[in-house]
Amino acid sequence: MGTKYFFSLILLGCISLFCVEANAQTEVDERSMQFKGLKYTSKDSLFFINFRFRMQNRMGFVTEDAEDLGIREWDTRVRRLRLRGDGYILGEKLAYSVQLSFSRGDQDADNTGVANIVRDAVIFYHFTNNFYVAFGQNKLPGNRQRVNSSGQLQFADRSIVNSALTIDRDFGLKAYYTNKLGNAVYQLKGAISTGEGRSVNTTDKGLAYTGRVEFLPFGSFTNDGDYSEGDLEREQKPKLSLAGGYSYNKATTNTGGQLGKDLFSPVDMKTFMLDAIFKYNGWAYAAEFIKRDVNNPLTYNSDGDLSYAYEGHGLNNQFSYLFKNNIETAFRYSYLIPSKRIANFEDTREVYELGLTKYLKGHKVKAQLNLSYNVGNQNHSLSNDKNYWGTMFQIELGI
């Protein structure tokens, strides 16, 4: 009887979630969230837990090249399957967030050799409404598109700039502070972490030090919309966020710092990040610039085999408009340029991408269709054998 009651409660909670307003709250990965829906609060109100899940199912392909439209590679899979729990214990000051991933592509197993199921396992303590700290594993305060939840994206995937240069999840201590200057809002974020990402087993002497500053001159976005792509809130007044950040990763052993395969010897990484987002009345524009320097990106083993860290810079731009029927058109242009020291191993890359999204229940339930033209070495000609077309259809469903 107890088991039947338990599953009935889960089913009832899941159904109730689909009756909630679509834009009630934006999913944010830098703090514990209290979503409406499947939740439990103790009688003394000292314990709270909130469950949600989401999945992204996709089908897409890339062509042989820009002229030969034969299919070179399919991408048909469950891209993401996540279970997330947020809440607090002993009152709202002591909060937590746990997020697990269950699809192979979401576990970075190909790079690390192990299934990294745990994405977030972090404890928050709120000293005041404006200041809180986090201890555990979650996203570093890096570039905006990475800190954006993958459930809040207007394209099926993040940009090539983010993929190559982002800093990611890490275990450590983070601090977040928000305040106002008149009507303007500023946010200060910092972290000291292991520098090895979520696959770390033992911690070496090198740590990562990350800082970020955000300035919102026209005040806060509706429902944390500065960390959600597209203007689903249809901001009635112009909203803008400008941000910059820097991360120094000392003696990292991964090709991408917190991400990537193993290097043969440790390197020091310096990552500089600038980004901005603007929204008004259904229009949205987002941009970010990332530059990474590595003290010595090329590492070798005793047999002379090479493993290198990605070094270079890139710029991503996204522009969109949301129609009143909740169909959004978006355009993205990204370029990624490797440094001279790794130019023999990496091409300069550009991507032109069109996006069409139908939001059925905000970002929680949506259908996305993307078409891209991928350019290698700044040669845009269709005859360039490094160029190719790509398309992707994805459905996201979550509660």
The predicted structure's pLDDT at residue 37: 58
Strand partners, 337: 313
Spatial separation of the C-alpha atoms in residues 133 and 193, rounded to whole Å: 13
Q: What pLDDT, in 10s, does the model give residues 206-258?
A: 899 999 999 999 999 999 999 999 999 999 999 999 999 999 999 999 999 99
DSSP H helices in the chain: 2-17, 109-112, 144-147, 160-165
Residue 364 has pLDDT above 70, yes or no: yes
DSSP string, 284-309: EEEEEEEEEEES--EEE-TT--EEE-
> For the purposes of burial, counting CB atoms within 10 Å of the CB of 264, is it exposed (0-12), middle (13-18) or buried (19 or more)?
middle
- Which of 343, 348, 352 has its CA nearest to residue 316? 352
Q: Could you read off the pLDDT of 257-312 as tens digits, one per residue?
A: 999 999 999 999 999 999 999 999 999 999 999 999 999 999 999 999 999 999 99
Angle at 90 between CA 86 and CA 96, to 5 degrees: 25
Of the candidates 352, 358, 351, the one whose C-alpha atom is nearest the C-alpha of residue 329 is 358
The answer to whether 292 and 273 are in contact (CB under 8 A) is no
**Does residue 49 carry a pLDDT above 70?**
yes
Amino acid 59 reads M
Closest CA to 178 of 230, 222, 229, 219: 219
Cα–Cα distance between 118 and 107 in angstroms, integer?
8
3-class SS at 5?
A: helix
Distance CA(296)–CA(336), nearest Å, equals: 20
Query: What pLDDT was estimated at residue 387?
Result: 98
* pLDDT bucket at 46, cuts 50 / 70 / 90: confident
| Among the listed residues 75, 52, 80, the one whose alpha carbon sits nearest the alpha carbon of residue 63 | 75
Average pLDDT score over residue span 324-345: 98
DSSP-assigned letters across all residues of 192-231: EE-SSGGG-SS--S--EEEEEEEEETT-PPGGGGGGSSS-
Strand partners, 184: 181
CB 160 within 8 A of CB 143: no
Contact yes or no for 287/318 (Cβ under 8 A): yes
Quickly tell me which residue has 């690390």 as its tokens: 112
User: Which DSSP string corresponds to 170-188?
Assistant: EEEEEEEEEEEETTEEEEE
Phi-psi region of 3 (alpha: psi -120 to 50; beta: other; left: phi over 0): alpha
Residue 6 has pLDDT above 50, yes or no: no
What is the tens place of the pLDDT at every residue in 151-183?
A: 999 999 999 999 999 999 999 999 999 999 999
Domains of the chain listed by start with CATH number: 22-52+82-316 (2.40.160.10)
What whole-number distance in Å separates Cα of residue 215 and Cα of residue 244? 9
Name the pLDDT band for 18 (thresholds 50, 70, 90): very low
- How sure is the predictor about 60, in pLDDT bands with cuts at 50, 70 and 90? very high
Segment 137-154 mean pLDDT: 96
Please give the mean pLDDT across all residues of the chain.
91
Cross-strand pairs, 285: 278, 319
**Amino acid found at 3:** T
Joined together, the tokens standing for residue 144 give 């905006």
> Which pTM was predicted?
0.91
Q: Which sign does the torsion angle of CA 339, 340, 345, 346 carry?
A: positive
Q: Looking at residue 372, what is its pLDDT?
A: 98
> What percent of the chain stands above pLDDT 90?
80
